[in-house]
Amino acid sequence: MKSRPPIIHPLLFGVFPVVALIARNIAEIPALEGVRSLIVSILITLLILLIFSLALKNAHKAGMISSLIMLSFFSYGHLNLVLRTVSPLGDLLGRHRFLVPIYVGIFGVALWGILRTRRDLSSLTRFLNVIASALIIIPLFQIAAFEIQDFTAQSSQAASAAGDLRLPEDQKPPDVYYILMDGYPRGDFIAQHLGYDNSPFLDALEEKGFFVALCSQANYSDTRFSMASALNMTYLDGGTGLSEVVFRRTDLNRMIRSSTVQQNFASLGYTIVTFDPGYRWLRWDNTDIQYTPGGIQTSRNLLAIGLNEFERLLLNTSAGKLLLDMQVISTANQVNRIIQVLDNPRALHRENVLFTLEAIPKTMAEVPGPKFVYAHIVSPHPPFVFTADGTPLDNSPTDELVAYGDQIAYVNTRLLEIVDQLIAESEQPPIIIIQGDHGATIDYAGLRIDEAERLGILNVYYLPGGLEQELYVSLSPVNTFRLIFDRYFNGHYGLLKNKSILGRQSHYIELDCETSQ
């Protein structure tokens, strides 16, 4: 007599979408943020399995129906996203009114087939067990491989210090503040495409003694490339001189998390102060002090009310997308408690941005001795959570270009307050760098804007000691710390030619720029 196969596939099909999404984003967020989804998914699968087992008195059929439900639920959002982006008929096929009936139809036929059949389903159960096991092995392997690689990887790509760096002899070393504003475009782009005049902000900075690199371009158009390059003061071409990124994703992550800039400041005796940006690959290893915003703590708290960013993405890639999209339709109904729960990631994001903006000046009093303060603030990059005066924006705006301008206006206000405090209250005049890693994050193709314009960035410097003569309007991030180390800490890096590459590989791009803007 043949043994009857265990019915494990429903559980594996229920767990797979969560594990696959964790694996997909394992370099971005800690797996902990997906634990709650995993638990809920397991419990719901078991509940469905139990209900159908009791109702049908047939474990194989109950298992198959449970798997069908879990797979249908978790694949809906993915299919919707794929159809909307890949298919030429995406606007039609990706609509819920079209997709839902198809899904319900297929689900109904499959359900009917399972309920009607009188065949022995042992073989099919065995088959589904194999599929489900294979499915779960792939992302588990990805997660394990990443964690092992992450643990063992050595920082071999970092440029070494040219010459002996040393502190200035005749004065106290200045504190260095590197404020990275994610997705902050250049002034001309803001004026032309976002309909906002950023010149009062830039003028105000100049009045305070800042140098504004009006024509600055990011060396790369994507955060990962851009930060790996800026923080290691090198291009990512592996010395080939070609416009090509030769490093793998994990190498770039490592270059960001343990960079030449960090090592140099640590070797100079600086206290390294950072703020957890919420993404693993942006969070520096081995810092002396790391502030963790409340929103990030909440998103890792299993008992916190409201979704975290991962959970919202999981919902968006499942049939929960229907709920999210319906919510967009009913934006007027803001008192709905469900909306607050669903939109919690926006609130957490706002909390994180505000925390960092408030904490930067506090480091003056809280951290003694020379310090290098690095704040990577994911703003004015979407999501848009602030109006121009800082009022929380609870729903996705209808006009994203206007919202982008508004968010820039708000962070401008906060940045001016911060630099005022830093300049006025620092014991020694500080070095302050405020920089974008790339320009606006918008749908360039949809708006018919040349994607190369994503390279234009905000890039401003407060450098005590009259170094303005050495600065120039097209200074790019790859040279930022070359200049700082050479001029203040006896470095011998020299400046590289400023070059900008769109994505991983393109020709070098130079945007038009009028310095009189």
Partner 1 sequence: MDALNYYAVFHMTWLPDLLAKTPAYLDPGSGSFFLQLLLATLMGALFLVGAYWKKVKSFVRNLFSKRQKEQEDSDQKSQ
Given 31, 42, 78, 304, the residue binding partner 1 (CB under 8 A): 78
Given 103, 196, 235, 279, the residue binding partner 1 (CB under 8 A): 279
Nearer to partner 1 among residue 383 and residue 430 (C-beta): 383
127 near partner 1, judged by CB under 8 A: yes
276 near partner 1, judged by CB under 8 A: no
254 near partner 1, judged by CB under 8 A: no
> Measured from the CB of residue 77, what is the shortest distance to partner 1 in angstroms?
8
For 150-165, give the DSSP string. HHH----SSPPPSS--
How far apart, in whole angstroms, are the C-alpha atoms of residue 11 and residue 119?
A: 23
172 near partner 1, judged by CB under 8 A: no
182 near partner 1, judged by CB under 8 A: yes
Cis peptide, bond prior to residue 101, ω within 30 of zero: no
284 near partner 1, judged by CB under 8 A: no
The DSSP 8-state label assigned to residue 439 in this structure reads S
Alpha helices in 87-95 (DSSP H): 90-93
Alpha helices in 294-435 (DSSP H): 294-299, 309-316, 320-329, 337-342, 344-366, 400-425
**Residue 347 Cα distances to 317, 332, 385, 391, 443, angstroms:** 21, 18, 8, 12, 24
208 near partner 1, judged by CB under 8 A: no
297 near partner 1, judged by CB under 8 A: no
How far apart, in whole angstroms, are the C-alpha atoms of residue 27 and residue 49?
A: 33
Given 1, 2, 3, 85, the residue binding partner 1 (CB under 8 A): 85
Among all chains, which residue has been given the structure tokens 């999981």? 314
Span of 71-79, 111-119, 263-271, 479-487 interacting with partner 1 by CB under 8 A: 71-79
**Residue 106 Cα distances to 13, 110, 111, 112, 254, angstroms:** 18, 6, 8, 10, 45
Span of 52-60, 123-131, 266-274, 409-417 interacting with partner 1 by CB under 8 A: 123-131
Nearer to partner 1 among residue 122 and residue 301 (C-beta): 122
Backbone φ and ψ of 502, nearest 5°: -90, 110
Answer for the pair 233, 263: CB distance below 8 angstroms, yes or no.
no
404 near partner 1, judged by CB under 8 A: no
Nearer to partner 1 among residue 84 and residue 487 (C-beta): 84
24 near partner 1, judged by CB under 8 A: yes
Binding mask 209-248 for partner 1 (x = CB under 8 A): -------------xxx--------------------x--x
503 near partner 1, judged by CB under 8 A: yes
- Both tokens assigned to 416: 């001016």
How far apart, in whole angstroms, are the C-alpha atoms of residue 211 and residue 348?
A: 33
Return residues touching partner 1 (CB under 8 A). 16-17, 20-21, 24-25, 28-29, 75, 77-79, 81-82, 84-85, 123, 126-128, 130-132, 134-135, 138-139, 182-183, 222-224, 245, 248-249, 279, 309-310, 312-313, 316-317, 345-346, 349, 378, 381-383, 396, 441, 443, 503-504
